[in-house]
């Protein structure tokens, strides 16, 4: 019966591992391949840590099961090994993880820097943002500059508006200005592996570079009220020509019904 418990503690990590191995084939894994360069590197880091952690997980759980197994194999009246520990062992199992962890910490700094530190952003994004991505309860409002203009922080009369859909060109880094009109929200594009909170009062630039044309989901990842779960938008990545055409279409629609002036008034 005692051995049962050792096996018990061995058994479940095995199940867990099997589950993880099965996961990708069952769809319990990342939603598609990473859509951006950045996402690729983020996922690479994830896999690196996954490797380290899996080794640790197996090692520690094996050790736990083993000390139990070994104790279970011995008789009841067996005397316990009287020891207060071992400094050299402790030193080893402090220093080894210390190096591993320090390595992880340092190894990923550049990805973080590139994603967040403005001076590390790709050159192409420094000319300005293609759109403003404004969260509000419970939708995403997209504001493009008028064709041929650059995006200003304040709404301009010729600006073009759309809700819950952002069109950007494929194959080059683009930057958007993330804002919120009311409470805090978060821009989460799972296929792009990107996330950034939209904070009231701040204009936060987010850049991404999607090589492949397609539709990518955007959800909200910061609790923002009852409709938090339904802030669904999408990023349409397409060729530059298609984006231009889309802009022209937007402009036509908006000048026709006199919406432009209204919109300018509103801000």
Partner 1 sequence: MATVSPALHGHDHADSHGHGHHEIGFIKKYVFSTDHKVIGIQFLVTTLLMLMVGGALALAVRWQLAFPWENMPFLGDIFGLFRTEGGQISPEFYTMLFTMHASVMIFLVIIPVLAGAFGNFLIPLQIGADDMAFPVLNMLSYWFMWPAIFCFGTSFFIGGATAGPAGGWTSYPILSAIMEAAPGSGDAQTWWLFGLTLVGVSSMMGSVNYMTTIINMRAPGMTLFRMPLTIWSMFITAILQAFALPVLTAAGFMLVTDRLLGTVFFVPSEIIVNNAEPTVGGGQPLLWQHLFWFYSHPAVYIMLLPAMGMVSDMLSCMCRKPVFGYKPMVYSMAAIAGLGFIVWGHHMFTSGMNPALGMTFMTSTMMIALPSAIKTFNWIGTIYDGNVKFNAVMLNCAGFVALFIVGGLSGIFMAAVPVDIYFHDTYFIVAHFHYVLFGATLFGVFAAIQFWFPKMFGRLMNDKVAKVHFVLTFAGMNGTFFPMHLLGIAGMPRRYADPYFHTYLEHLLPMNQFMTFSAILMGCAQFLLLGNFAYSILFGEKAGRNPWNANGLEWSAPSPPGHGNFDEPPVCYRGPYEYSSPEAEALGQDFILQTSPPPAGVKKADPAHH
Partner 2 sequence: MSHNDHGSHNEHSTHHVNYLAIFFVLCGCTAASVAFDLLSFSSQYITIVLVLSVAVAKALCVMMFFMHLKFEGNWKYVLLAPTTILALGLPAALFPDIGVSYYKNTAPQSGWSSEMDAWHAAHATKAANE
Using CB under 6 A as the binding rule, the residues of this chain from 59 to 78 that contact ligand HEA are 60
Q: Which of 110, 149, 153, 253 binds partner 2 (CB under 8 A)?
A: 153
Beta pairing, strands 185-189 & 214-220: antiparallel
Separation between Cα atoms, residue 146 and residue 127, nearest integer Å: 16
Q: Which of 54, 56, 70, 164 binds ligand HEA (CB under 6 A)?
A: 56
Q: Are 131 and 144 in contact (CB under 8 A)?
A: yes
Q: At closest approach, how far in Å is the CB of 183 from ligand HEA?
A: 15
Residue 8 touches which member of partner 1, ligand CUA, partner 2, none, C-beta under 5-8 Å by kind = partner 1
Task: Decide: is 16 part of the binding site for partner 1 (CB under 8 A).
Answer: yes
Task: Decide: is 17 part of the binding site for partner 1 (CB under 8 A).
Answer: no
Q: Which of 201, 226, 252, 265 binds partner 2 (CB under 8 A)?
A: 201
- Closest to partner 1 by CB, 191 vs 254, is 191
- Closest to partner 2 by CB, 122 vs 205, is 205
Q: Are 78 and 72 in contact (CB under 8 A)?
A: no
Q: What is the dihedral of CA 188, 191, 192, 193, to 10 degrees?
A: 60
Structure token digits, residue 247 = 């802009």
Task: Decide: is 200 part of the binding site for ligand HEA (CB under 6 A).
Answer: no
Residue 222 touches which member of ligand HEA, partner 2, ligand CUA, none, C-beta under 5-8 Å by kind = ligand CUA
Residue for token pair 């978060």:
186
Q: How many residues in the chain?
A: 267
Residue 21 touches which member of partner 2, partner 1, ligand HEA, none, C-beta under 5-8 Å by kind = none
- In order of 116, 160, 201, 253, 261, the CA distances from 195 in angstroms are 11, 25, 18, 31, 33
| H-run or E-run covering 60 | helix 37-72
Q: Which of 44, 51, 97, 171 binds ligand HEA (CB under 6 A)?
A: 97
Residue 263 touches which member of partner 2, partner 1, ligand CUA, none, C-beta under 5-8 Å by kind = none
Task: Decide: is 222 part of the binding site for ligand CUA (CB under 6 A).
Answer: yes
Task: Decide: is 212 part of the binding site for partner 1 (CB under 8 A).
Answer: no
Task: Decide: is 205 part of the binding site for partner 2 (CB under 8 A).
Answer: yes
List, in order, residues 6 or more apart from 158 with CB less than 8 Å away. Answer: 145, 146, 149, 260
Separation between Cα atoms, residue 137 and residue 162, nearest integer Å: 15
Q: Are 177 and 151 in contact (CB under 8 A)?
A: yes
Segment near partner 1 (CB under 8 A); pick from 76-84, 127-135, 238-246, 247-255? 76-84
């Amino acid at each position: 019966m005692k051995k049962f418990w050792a096996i018990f503690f061995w058994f479940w990590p095995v199940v867990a591992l099997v589950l993880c191995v099965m996961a990708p084939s069952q769809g319990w894994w990342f939603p598609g391949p990473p859509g951006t360069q950045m996402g690729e590197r983020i996922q690479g880091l994830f896999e690196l840590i996954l490797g380290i952690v899996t080794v640790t997980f197996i090692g520690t759980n094996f050790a736990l099961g083993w000390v139990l197994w070994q104790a279970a194999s011995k008789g009841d009246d067996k005397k316990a090994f009287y020891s207060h520990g071992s400094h050299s062992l402790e030193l080893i199992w402090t220093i080894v993880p210390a190096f591993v962890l320090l390595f992880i910490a340092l190894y990923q700094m550049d990805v973080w820097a590139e994603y967040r530190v403005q001076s590390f952003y790709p050159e192409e994004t420094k000319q300005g943002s293609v759109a403003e991505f404004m969260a509000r309860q419970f939708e995403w409002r997209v504001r493009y500059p008028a064709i041929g203009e650059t995006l200003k922080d304040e709404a301009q009369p010729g600006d073009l508006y759309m809700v819950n859909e952002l069109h950007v060109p494929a194959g080059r880094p683009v930057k958007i200005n993330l804002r919120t009109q009311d409470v805090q929200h978060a821009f989460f594009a799972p296929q792009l592996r990107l996330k950034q909170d939209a904070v009231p009062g701040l204009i936060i630039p987010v850049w991404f570079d999607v090589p492949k044309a397609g539709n990518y989901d955007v959800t909200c990842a910061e609790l923002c009220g009852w409709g938090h779960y339904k802030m669904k938008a999408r990023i349409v990545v397409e060729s530059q020509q298609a984006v231009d055409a889309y802009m022209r279409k937007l402009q036509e629609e908006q000048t026709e019904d006199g919406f432009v002036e209204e919109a300018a008034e509103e801000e």
